[in-house]
Amino acid sequence: MRELILGGTRSGKSSYAEKVALGGGKELLYLATATVEDAEMEQRIIHHQQSRSSAWRVIEEPLHLAEVLQQEARDGRTILVECLTLWLTNLLLQEDETVLQQETELLINVIPDLPGTTLLVGNETGMGVVPADALSRKYCDEAGRLHQRLAAICERVTLVVAGLPQTLKEP
């Protein structure tokens, strides 16, 4: 079972994803894509770490998401990927521009065949104004494309707004 969970900043998407994972009664793996770039991001990461129970095993992987998913996915395990859009940012900032396309294709190809449960969390960025600078526009475009492709192959898609999950697609 694969679920794409989208929402804006502080929408409650992470809390919802963790609640879904904990309710499944399976072994828990938290696959974190964030990297500490500044004090504010460090505080966000610490907040997430402190809010999680000790039931979670954590792997940090900022770039090679598909590879880790292939290695770690198995029946009886739930993997929560937090978060797709930070992973996308990490890929966009690579000097080699082909890394983004390569890693995205690997992820799209791996997702349908993963055993166990995979929860993919991402920021919905396409509901606001068009950004003024080229990198931000590319980020929003790539996030939108990624989310559409994942929504097509995930069994369930949920949008979280103000802490309220709205089911967009279900089996």
Active-site annotation, residues:
48
Whole-Å CA distances, 171 to 3, 22, 149, 155: 10, 20, 17, 5
Write out the two tokens for 113. Answer: 């065949």
Q: How far is C-alpha 144 from the chain's CA centre?
A: 13
The span from the CA of 3 to the CA of 24, in Å, is 13
What letter represents residue 56's amino acid? W
